[in-house]
Each structure stands twice: as structure tokens, then as C-alpha cells.
Amino acid sequence: MKLELFISWRYLATKRKEKFISLISLISIMGVAIGVMALIVVIAVMTGFDRDLRDKIVGNYAHITVTAYNGIDNAKYPDMFKLIMSKPHVKGVSPYVQGQVLVREQDRYFAVGLKGINPSWESRVTSIDRYLIQGKLDNLRDDSVIIGKELAAYLGAGLGSNLLIYSPQGKQDILKVAGIFNSGMYDYDLNLIFTNLKTAQGILGLKDKFSAIAVKLDDLYLADKVRNELTRILGFDYSLKTWMEANQNFFAALKLEKLSMFVILTLIVLVASFNIISTLVVMVVEKTKDIGILKAIGMSSGQIRKIFTYHGFLIGGLGTFLGTLGGISLCILLKKYQFIKLPRDIYYLDRLPVAVAWSDIFLIILAAFSITLISTVYPAAKAAGLKPVEALRYE
């Protein structure tokens, strides 16, 4: 062990008469630890929100959506299907029809989005088949409908219930509930229903037309690249939008919130760094005699500076280690036991999502160490500037 580090550790670890210095050091360590732990937990929760919402959004909607101003003719679909499927990274393609309708069950009404799908194709591009908690996707025939769990609870409907559907043109249709899905997102489970493609075309007055074509990729982060390639081969008569573009405001807000929380909570570590400064300043005063003796026997100013820099680093390092350990442990507990529940109608989720990203952990540790390093500059320079004669004058 280097001499400077050994002396720094002795100053921190050994029992001294000056209990006040030890108390300040302990407070400094705990301040850094609390700041780092808070940063890790909050950033993990923000990352969890981002990932969970992204997975649910992509699970309900395709990676790329192809639309046209006047809809897409049924007759053009086979050629478009071949062109789209010929591109690398494309896993599935499915046309659909979508519009707004009014649903009635007994004396209850609710406006929802109606999506007409082909059951055998839809499972290639979305996760609706995995979200079903009652019924089967194959049961979606011409006279049936699949509704969300929240809508079923609101209407008091179950499997076999008959729903009266009012189209924008005033047409009425009676559909039987063939399934209930739970995507985990309150908004979708309340405001989206599925029916057969042909039935939806009749209800919405879109005979021989599709609203859009959904495209599924093997890597959702290649959506921009594949979108550009499809735009080139399909032409400018069609509009292509990726899942990121469709929800860009939402994800931009999440990113900004995450950055804001990082900056705000870093201030906790910054406050703790002032405790480190005060600890080192008081220690310089206390160890004036020791500094004078060390310089008198030949220790340089640079070595003295290192002693107090290492001392601050030890305080910051211990605090960062304890905070990292505590933060990761708390994240594991939150993820495993999910003892914090959320109101689904506000947050879209029913639990607190936690996702620990090691890149975020590294950034937090780096920020804590950087703040600690800056906090040691003045006290260490003050100690290095002491002259042996002045330090030992009154001894």
C-alpha cells in the first residue's frame, strides 16, 4: 500500500480523541450513500417505465404502419404484401381497419376504437393473442368481438354478452363477446375493441378497403431504416410511420423526466460533497502538527496533497459503494415483491416497474466520484501549502 493511502486510511479508520471529526466523516459517507441510492432507485424506476410502456405499446401496435390518404384497396394488398415481405428484417404483415364507434350494453354507452383484423395474420404483428385472458383469437368470427378487461368491467359484459355497435354512419350491429384481453395498459383495455376484418369494413363503411397495413420486424430499433427502404419501393402515395414516430412526444417526455430526475437527485450527492469539504478542512486544522512533521522529515507538498485527496476519495468511495449496494438491493426487492401498486387509470400500469441498466449505474458512480474529486481540491491544496515552520511554531 502506498504511504499516502496508508496514512489516509489511518486517519479515517483509527479511533481518535476528536469524536466530532469521526461524526462528520460518518455523516459525509451516509450523505453520499443516500444520494447514490436515491439516484439508482429513481433512474431504475424511470428506465422501467420506459421499457414497460415501450413493450406494451409495441405489443398493441406494429413496428411500422403503412397508410394511404383514401385507404388501401384490397386488390392492391397482395402485391404490397410481396414487396414488404421481400425486405430484410420483416417478420410479418397484416392489414387492418380502424375507426371510432359507440358501444352499448343495456343502458351503458361508451365510445371506443374499433379495429378490424384477420385473426390468423394479426398474431404475426401484435401480441393480442398473448393478452387474451378469456376466449381465443380463432373465435373472432363475423358476428363477434374481443374487448378489453376494463371495458368489460365498465359495461358489465362477459363472454357471450351481446354488444350493440353504432357506426359513424348511424348503422347498428349486434356483436357477441368472444374474448377478453388484458394488455396491462388501462387506456388500451378500456378504449380498444377487436372484430373480424370483414365485419369492421361493413360497420365503418370501408368496403374493399383497408385503413392501414401493420408491419412487424425482427428488431424494433431498425424501424427507421426499414421504413426508409419501404418508402422507396412503395412510392410516395403511401405514408409510413414507425412506432417511435407515433409515440415520439410520449417517449421524449419520459427521456426528459429521466434526465431531470438525474440532475435533481445529483444535488443530493453535491450537498454531501460539502460535508466532505468541511471534514477535510477541519482535519487539516487538526493535523497541522502532523503535516509539519511529515514535511520536516522530507515529505513533499504533492504527497501531502495526495493524503487528503485520498482521504476524501475514501469517504466518497465508501458512500458510493454503500449507496450502490443499497440501491441495487432495493431495486431487486421492488422488482421481486412489487409492494408498491399504482392506480392504472392514471399511470397506465398497475405496479411500479423497475429495470436496472448497468450503463446508468456506471454513470451514477462516475458522477459521484467526480463530485468527490472536486470536493477534495481546496482542502488538499490548503494542506499542501502549509510550511513546516508555521505548522510547528507553537508546538
- Name every residue whose Cβ is closer than 8 Å to that of residue 3 and which is 6 or more positions away in sequence: 303
Domain boundary among 175, 204, 233: 204
Sign of CA dihedral 173, 176, 179, 182: positive
Q: Say if residue 14 is in the same domain as residue 121.
A: no
Asked if residue 87 is part of any domain, the answer here is no
In a domain, 385, yes or no: yes
Q: What is the pLDDT along the chain (395 residues), one digit of tens a residue?
A: 577 888 777 777 765 555 556 677 788 888 889 989 988 998 998 888 888 878 877 777 789 999 988 888 888 888 899 999 988 889 999 999 999 999 987 777 889 999 999 888 888 888 888 889 998 888 888 889 999 998 998 888 889 888 999 988 888 888 999 999 988 778 888 899 999 998 998 899 888 889 999 999 998 889 999 999 998 888 888 999 998 888 778 778 778 888 888 888 888 788 878 888 888 888 777 777 777 778 778 788 888 888 888 888 888 889 999 999 999 999 999 888 887 777 766 666 667 888 988 888 999 999 888 888 888 888 888 888 877 766 565 45
Q: Which pLDDT value is given to residue 107?
A: 78
CATH code for position 160: 2.40.40
Does 25 share its domain with 118? no
User: Are 191 and 324 in a shared domain?
Assistant: no
Q: Report the half-sphere exposure of 159 (CA within 13 A, side-chain side).
A: 12
What contacts 89, CB < 8 A, 6 or more positions away?
A: 217, 218, 219, 222, 226
Is residue 361 domain-resident? yes
Whether residue 272 is found in the same domain as residue 187: no
Number of domains in the chain: 2
Q: Is residue 237 part of a domain?
A: no
Instruction: Please give the full DSSP string across 269-335, using - where no structure is assigned.
Output: HHHHHHHHHHHHHHHHHHTHHHHHHHHHTT--HHHHHHHHHHHHHHHHHHHHHHHHHHHHHHHHHHH
Same domain (yes/no): 272, 173: no
Residue 240 is assigned to a structural domain of this protein: no
Per-residue pLDDT at 344: 65
Q: Domain check: are 262 and 374 in the same one?
A: yes
Residues 265 and 342 in one domain: yes
Domain for residue 293, yes or no?
A: yes
The sign of the dihedral angle between the CA atoms of 53, 59, 64, 68 is negative
Whether residue 316 contacts residue 369, with contact meaning beta carbons closer than 8 Å, is answered with yes
What sign for the dihedral angle of Cα 309, 312, 314, 317?
Answer: negative
> According to the model, what pLDDT value does residue 220 have?
86
Whether 288 is covered by a domain: the verdict is yes
Q: State residue 156's pLDDT score.
A: 87
**C-alpha to C-alpha distance for 317 and 392, rounded to whole angstroms:** 32
Q: Give the range of the structural domain holding residue 121, as residue numbers without chain letter.
A: 98-204
User: Considering the domain boundaries, does residue 236 fall inside one?
Assistant: no
212 three-class SS: strand
Q: Do 194 and 262 have their domain in common?
A: no
Model pLDDT, residue 395 = 55
Q: How far apart are CA 372 and CA 368, in angstroms?
A: 6
pLDDT at 113: 93
Q: Are residues 254 and 173 in the same domain?
A: no
129 and 12 in one domain?
no
The C-alpha cell that represents 233 in the structure block: 419501393
Is there a single domain that holds both residue 128 and residue 185? yes
At residue 14, the pLDDT reads 62
Same structural domain, 39 and 164: no
Place of cell 385503413: 211
